[in-house]
Each structure stands twice: as structure tokens, then as C-alpha cells.
Amino acid sequence: MVSIKVKRYSEALNDLNAAIEADPTLSEAYYHRASVLRHICSENKNVNESRYLLTSQNALETALTLSESGDYAKSLEYVEKVVLVFSPACSKAKLLKVRLLLATKDHSGVIAEAGYILKEDEDNLEALLLRGRAYYYLADHDVAQRHYQKGLRLDPEHAEDNVNKGKLRLAVEEYKAALALDPNHLAHNVHLHLGLCKALVKLGRGKDALSSCNEALKIDEELLEALVQRGEAKLLTEDWEGAVEDLKSAAQRSPQDMNVREALMKAEKALKMSKRKDWYKILGVSKTASISEIKKAYKKLALQWHPDKNVENRQEAEEKFREIAAAYEVLGDEDKRTKYDRGEDIEDMGMGAAAAAVLTLLVAAHNNLHLLSKGDSLAVAVVDLEEAFLVDLTSSFDFQ
């Protein structure tokens, strides 16, 4: 009976040994193995195994606390002299050691220790990024980029995202991390600020990009690329005049640079477009409105602001009426609307000649209508003009 139990314990011990060999971080297996060893009277060989594990766990918690408080040197001491002594296979402790080496600016140590982790697990994302960061800070940018690219392929967070945007987001985080390592390393940080600005511009984060470009220009006010990128950032924040100012200055410094000239032309066009009338806003429709929605909005506003319906504020109504007609003249015509959306200049941008003539006559006649009698031929003509205009206004609509 006793021999059967011993046999079962031996089999269990073999299973636990295999489990620990497959996964050295499987703490539960260590506890069970210690229990089995005690039952088969093998304590004098492994009695301290569970104690070692407990000591290692306590030391790791202490190391993490010290790291969070900023005492990196003491934390590193706990990891190296306690945790990894009792639990040499602990992956959490190994990664913590790499992070601590990076925090203490031991970049060669980071590369070596992260390399050991990657030999055991070549797809360890954190080890890849930490090692890449160390290479980057040592100015070995090509090797750093290879680490980042592999890390990106492994990162599930970007699985649903566009690949380029994923790379940019990763770059932003790495630039920030590199800047945090040594804020006073100005000669190196100017390029980090510029790289961060460029990545943020491409992500459309104008306000953040503007801040990064300003930091780069504080360090080196002659840095042409930072000036260009700041102009691009100002376009994103709709600071049209500021964008033109920066890009014009850049173009003057580098008159042969066609990319700068194109950026300046884009900014000047945006500034010009910002000053023109917003026909969509005047009609109260979105930029994606259908022609039917535009017609309905036009009819409603034209009838609302018809001078005859606004006797007390006739002058304001006349101006509104002209503006509404001008908006419809552009947005109601597919060709003109397309050109307007592209920012092109359009001849006769505004109401059509016939509508403008009728409205002008109608307004002028109304201003003198009180001098005429009902039977007067001019009074009759005015009434006819009103009717003709209203018929013209509504005839183009096909309402159900």
C-alpha cells in the first residue's frame, strides 16, 4: 500500500518537474513539488524550495515599490541579489532589470540583458522595444528601427489600425520616452523634438505638434525643417496666417526647395478660402448635403427673407436674400459646387444674372411704390415683377 503511494508521488513529481521545465515561472508547480517532496521524505534536499519562492516574490514586490518611487539603484540591487538568485527564470524580474538599467542610463547593459531575454523568447515585445530604445539613445537608429518594426508586427493593439498610423503612434511613444531619459541633452533632443513634431503632424495632432516644433526651435531657431513642420501644425489648428508666415519665412531661407514652396501655396490657399463666404453655412446645410437638401434649404430661407415679408427690417432682408440666392447659385450647380469645394475661383460667383436683375428692379421699385396709386402702370409692373420672381424662385423645385 505504501509502495503504491510512493509510486504515485514519484509519478506526480515527474509531472511537476516536466511542468516546471516547460514553464519556469509556474509558481503553483513549485509549491506542489515541495509538498510531494515532503511526503516522500525528500525534504532534506528541497525543503527550502517553497521558502525560496516566497522570498523571491517578496523581494520582487519590494523592487517594484522602489522602482515606482524612483530609487532605481536600490531596486536593481534587490532584483540582482535576491529575486534572480532565488528565481533565476523569473521573466518579470528580468524585464524589470532591463527597465531599471535603462532608467540608470546603462544602455549597453540594456542591450545585453534584453538580448538574453530575446534568445529565450524572440517575440517578447517589451524586450524588443526596450532594446530598440537603448540603440536609439546610442544613436544607432537603423538597428533601433528594426527592433521597432518587429515590435509593431507583434503588437496586437494595432491589428485593426492602418499600418502607417500604427508606426507613427509607436514612434510618438518612443520619442517621448527618449526625451524623458535626459531632458538636458539639448544637442540630441533637438532632433527628438523635431521627429516627434513630424509624427504628430502626420497623425493630425496639430496642437501637440506645435508644442514639439516650438521646443525644437527654442534649441535651434535656424532649424528649417522645424519651421516648415510648425507651419504644417498651424494649418491643422486653423491658424492660417501663422502658417503662411512660417512657411513664407522657410521659403525665403530655402528658395529652391519645391516642397517648401508647395506647402506655402497650400497655406496661402487655405488662408484665402478662410476669408471667403461659407455658402454651406449661409444655407444651413452640411458639406455633404444632397442637391435636394440644398434646394429645400434655399426655398425655405428665400421665402423667409423675402423683402415683402420683412417690411420692418427690409434692408437686412434684402442683403440676406441676395446672399441666399448667391449661395444657391453656387451650390445648386454641380460644376460650380465642385470648383468651390476645391477652393477654385469661380467667375460670377453669386446669383445668376437674371435673378440679380429681377431682384434689383424689385427692390428699386419697392422703394418707390408708396408714391404710386394702385392703378398706375408702374405699380402694376412692380406687382408683376414680384409674381414673376416668386414663380422663378419656386419653379426649379420638385417637392413631393
The domain that contains 304 carries what CATH number?
1.10.287.110
Residue 372 counted as domain residue: yes
Residue 102 counted as domain residue: no
Same domain, 312 and 225: no
Residue 337 counted as domain residue: yes
Residue 196 counted as domain residue: yes
Interatomic CA distance for residues 129 and 289, integer angstroms? 47
Q: How many domains does the chain have?
A: 3
Domain boundary among 256, 275, 294: 275
Q: pLDDT band for position 154 (50/70/90)? A: low
- Work out the average pLDDT over 143-163: 58
Share of the chain above pLDDT 90, in %: 27
Average pLDDT, the chain: 77
Domain boundary among 275, 293, 312: 275
Looking at residue 67, what is its pLDDT? 86
Instruction: Using the predicted structure, report yes or no on whether residue 55 has a pLDDT greater than 50.
Output: yes
Q: pLDDT band for position 314 (50/70/90)? A: confident
> Which among 27, 8, 30 is positioned nearest to 17, based on CA atoms?
30
Instruction: Using the predicted structure, report yes or no on whether residue 115 has a pLDDT greater than 70.
Output: yes
Same domain, 161 and 268: yes
Interatomic CA distance for residues 29 and 36, integer angstroms? 10
Same domain, 198 and 236: yes
Residue 124 counted as domain residue: no
Same domain, 283 and 391: yes
Q: Which triple of cell numbers denotes residue 397?
A: 423645385
Same domain, 284 and 271: no
Looking at residue 396, what is its pLDDT? 46
Q: pLDDT band for position 82 (50/70/90)? A: confident
3-class secondary-structure state, position 274:
helix
Looking at residue 35, what is its pLDDT? 66
Residue 140 counted as domain residue: no
Residue with cell 485593426: 160
Q: Which triple of cell numbers denotes residue 115?
A: 538580448
Report the b/e string of 154-170 with b at 16+ CB within 10 A: ebeebeeeeeeebbbbb
Same domain, 205 and 302: no
- Work out the average pLDDT over 318-341: 89
Packing angle, helices 258-275 and 240-253, rounded to 10: 160
Same domain, 290 and 340: yes
Same domain, 332 and 285: yes
Spell out the residues 6+ positions from residue 148 whose beta carbon is closer than 8 angstroms to its own.
Answer: 128, 129, 132, 167, 170, 171, 174
Instruction: Using the predicted structure, report yes or no on whether residue 112 has a pLDDT greater than 90.
Output: yes
Same domain, 322 and 348: yes
Same domain, 255 and 294: no
Q: Based on C-alpha coordinates, what's the Rg of the chain?
A: 37
3-class secondary-structure state, position 311:
coil
For residue 167, the enclosing domain spans 155-275
Stated pTM of the model: 0.45
Residue 202: CB atoms within 10 A of its CB come to 17
Same domain, 370 and 263: no
Which residue type, as a one-letter code, is found at position 180? Answer: A
Same domain, 287 and 271: no
Residue 122 counted as domain residue: no
